[in-house]
Structure 1
Amino acid sequence: MGLIRRFFQREDPESSYAPLEGGSEGPDGERIDDQEQREYSRVDYYVFLLLGIAMLWAWNMFLAAAPYFQRRFESDHRLLRNFQSAELAVSTVGSLGSLILLTKLQANASYPKRIAASLILNSVVFALLAISTRTFLAVSPSAYFVFFLLVVFSASLATSLCQNGVFAYVASFGREEYTQGIMTGQGIAGVLPCIAQIVSVLSVPPKESEEGAPQESSKSAFIYFLTATVISALTLVTFVYLLSKPASHGHVRPTLDDEEVDPGYGAASHKSIPLLRLLQKLYWLAGAVFLTFAITMFYPVFTQKTLSVRDPTTSSRLFQPAVFIPLGFLFWNIGDLIGRVIPGIPGLTLTAQPRLLFTLAVARLAFIPLYLLCNVSGRGAAINSDFFYLFIVQLLFGVSNGYIGSNCMMGFVEWVDPEEREAAGGFMSLCLVAGLTAGSFLSFIAAGA
């Protein structure tokens, strides 16, 4: 408790938040000049853009495919109510555990091999999901649930491999443009799966249930999962092409110490940076990024349960659950993409105001009760408007996530010493993943709403 009081009752709470001046530095403190950067290639940029898309495609694909999974679990109300929260928990715990393990296995690591392995694993996972829509349709919901959790865990492992490998590999190029391409690709990865899901459903004639209500066809799910397989395979081909270029050889060299990774400059000695020191300098930003993504994890559970206020039996297919649910995910992810872009505009960043970012992160709690005003589980909406749900709740909730999260991840370098930046990056990433993990377990509360 004394430690907590010291964090929040400092005599000068802004003393640890004094932005540092200076440019980029190498592992030995030398300044990195522009001439040390490799020549910019638009082709390389688009390869990294594709890698960013592939990195988060699986995560967003599972969310957007909620209507199909709902149909597979509809005969078991317990699984139907909790499969989304179980998916989030398995995915985030798998990602957190995998990242910790990969961090411990950095010695002599081949980052290109990790990237290739992640793309191959994703291709296999998506192919199995596509096959499952055409075969083994008579298996029990419990058996399919086991399969579902296995593919979710495999996809989370692939995501961790991709994250660990891509960000290490791109650092060796010394081009900030390529890193920006990865971040943009991650934002696009939230939008494209939703569009693919909507198009796949609308391109297939609706299937009528015994009660006459339209349902999503397994054929549309097959097209959707097959599209994901093609994306992963295409990304793998383009990455192999990038590796075949002479300028890409020898970029990433292994480190001598499995605790210290310096993908851009090879082996180097770094002094150990205590996490407590980083927490004392970054507690507002660390708390903001943790809360931001913990609160964000409520949105997938509510989104897969929120229906249009229009009668699904008489409205167009756009407002039927098989399309409306991924449409809700689409609006949230469009907002997230907008939020990621805004901090790149001069004058619209808040990296110099960490306490304000923390306050905004806490304020995002207000979005959770807003979902209860919408048509959750078809019980009726207090505000009888799809516009309110899509534009006010989903879009703005997504914008707030992208904007606050990006500011936190962009701004931490201003508040630490140059020799602490690498460790601070790992610390902030850990806070982000910890927030996702905590939010995934808290989302079980929303599952019962």
Structure 2
Amino acid sequence: MPVSFITRTSSTETDPIYTYTSEVEPYNANTDSNMERVRQLWQQEQDYEPIEGGSVEEEQQRQELRESSSFSWAEYSIFLLLGVAMLWAWNMLLAAGPYFQSRFASSDRLLDNFQASELAVSSITNLGSMLVLTNMQARASYPRRIVMSLLINLVAFALLALSTWFALGVSANAYFAFLIFIVFVTSLAAGLCQNGVFAFVSGFGQPRYTQAIMTGQGVAGVLPCIAQILSVLSVAKSPSDEKSPDGSDTSPAVPGTAAFAYFLTATVICASTLLAFFFLVRQHNTKKAVTAHEDLASSVDSIEQRNRKSVPLAVLFRKLRWLAAAVFLTFTVTMMFPIYTQRILSVRQSDTSSRLFQAPSFIPLAFLFWNAGDLLGRLLPAVPSLSLIHRPKLIFVLSIARVGFIPLYHLCNIRGQGAVVKSDLFYLAVVQLLFGITNGYLGSMCMMGAAEWVDPEEREASGGFMGLCLVAGLAFGSLISFFAAKA
């Protein structure tokens, strides 16, 4: 009868151990038959999976845990909504660039630097909060961190909406200080949310839930851009929107009513997410109670805090070095796109062209193309044949290759000074769309693959660690973006 062999490769490195099982008949004298079996053996595809623990028994336990983690579309939808809420503030502030330009029109210094200042304050604050939170694992209550982040955003969005009615007479400097304060608190909330959500979802043992979060982040990039474009196009063009007496262009300001509705939408989404998360926590609490056969009426917090060990960052980096470096580089390069997008104008911009190609609507349109590509890229990992979770080194190489997109921006119409490639289609479909696709795809691959390369008890910590690397990339990229802002 056939004999089963299990071959294990020993390694002192942190790479996973792979297994390969084959069935070989006992030796017989028929040499041709044996050679044919050997050829068939090498021709068949070999499927490898990482083994975190280094033994066949632990890998079997890991597989049983996967199978026991039931998938729920309701939970998937809530995690998607959490992804939307996580980055809605970030994308809302970016897409609202034309409105902020109208508020800073009296100060050339603020007009040129407010975008880079937003990026720097946002990224550095987010990074600082993530560093602190990542080192507070042992007694961390991840659901509580998520709730706190949503409450902070709820108040910040409400203040921003009210400012469109009650802060119209303030100076540009005063409004800039208010805006930076809003950026600071929403970035602090984003750090809480990112650390909490990625750690919380890792405990479910469902990579598709992580993909839902990444998809939600992509949706959060698309919807604010659409809202901003519609708010501009829905307002009739007034004589004040025409050329000024000295012949210079004056961008029409976004009216207070449209801006109020635009910012109020973020408040509604945040409140809806908070209610949905309470439902998710209750469902998770019930499921844990059934699985563990014990009374968990206190809350999910007691489950999260019990028996959790603190995992050193050095251990996580040793196991996730390729994915951690890849997500850092991916988002470092990505931070270049907001600076260029605020400065590149349509090659068709003129008095006779459609209002869609005027700066107040064309800039959000360019953000829309990038974010639509980002959303598409986040959906691609759902196709099994396109998944690179088990090829972290290739993900790292692709993240380096994204640097090639930056020179492409200099072929476009920066500040209306003329374009080397005189085509809006080239700018929107080739530069913005493809740049966004690569960001969403590689970012999702990094975050989804992290749980596959660590031990089960390290999954929550790995989620927070990868979120830290992501935010570190954003912070480093935002500092570099100041050089792009001066260009």
Residue equivalent to 1:253: 301
Superposed, which structure 2 residues align to 1:50-449 within 5 Å?
Answer: 50-106=81-137, 108-207=139-238, 208-209=240-241, 211=243, 213-219=250-256, 220-243=258-281, 247=286, 252-254=300-302, 263=304, 266-268=305-307, 270=309, 272-273=311-312, 275=314, 277-416=315-454, 421-449=459-487
Tell me what 2:36 maps to: none
Q: Tell me the amino acid that sits aligned with residue 153 of structure 1.
A: F
* 2:78 match: 47
> RMSD across aligned C-alpha pairs, in angstroms?
3.0
Structure 1 position 186, deviation (Å): 1.4
Shift of 1:159: 1.4
Q: Deviations over 1:354-405 (max 9, x none)?
A: 3332222222111111111111112121111110110010000111111222
Work out the percentage of aligned pairs sharing the same amino acid: 56
Q: Summarize deviations over 1:249-285 as a string: whole Å, max 9, x none.
A: 6663348xxxxxxx3xx5225475461x554554433
- What is aligned with 1:9? none
Return the TM-score normalized by structure 2.
0.78
The answer as to whether partners of 1:374 and 1:389 remain within 8 angstroms in 2 is: yes
Report whether the alignment pairs 1:33 with 2:65. yes
Distance, in Å, in 2 between the alignment partners of 1:106 and 1:204 is 50
Amino acid at match of 2:486: G
Q: Distance in 1 between matches of 2:316 and 2:68?
A: 29
Paired residues, number: 424
C-alpha separation in 2, matches of 1:224 and 1:445: 31
Q: Is the 2:317–2:324 contact (alpha carbons within 8 Å) kept by the matching residues of 1?
A: yes
Q: Is the 8 A contact 1:206 1:216 kept in 2?
A: no
Matched with 1:7 is none
Counterpart residue type for residue 381 of structure 1 = A
Structure 1 residues 141 and 205 mapped into 2: Cα distance closer, same or farther (>3 Å)?
Answer: same
How big is each residue's C-alpha offset from its partner over 1:42-69, in whole Å with a ceiling of 9 and x where there is no partner? 3333222222111110011111111111
Q: Which runs of 5+ in 1 are unaligned?
A: 1-12, 256-262
- Is the Cα–Cα contact under 8 Å of residues 106 and 254 in structure 1 kept in the other structure? no
Instruction: Say if 1:18 and 1:414, in contact at 8 Å, map to a contact too.
Output: no
Which amino acid letter does the alignment assign opposite residue 100 of structure 2?
F
Give the counterpart letter for 1:180 in structure 2: Q
1:3: which partner in 2? none
Q: TM-score, normalised by structure 1?
A: 0.84
C-alpha distance 176-250 of structure 1, shift in aligned 2 (>3 A) = farther
Alpha-carbon offset, residue 294 of structure 1: 0.5
Asked if the contact 1:273–1:420 (Cα under 8 Å) also holds between the matched residues in 2, the reply is no
Larger of the two Rg values belongs to structure: 2
One-letter code aligned to 2:243? E
Shift of the 290–211 alpha-carbon distance from structure 1 to 2, 3 Å rule, reads: same
8 Å CA contact 1:305–1:377 kept in 2: the answer is yes
SS at match of 2:169: coil
Give unmatched runs, 5+ long, in structure 2: 1-10, 19-48, 245-249, 288-296
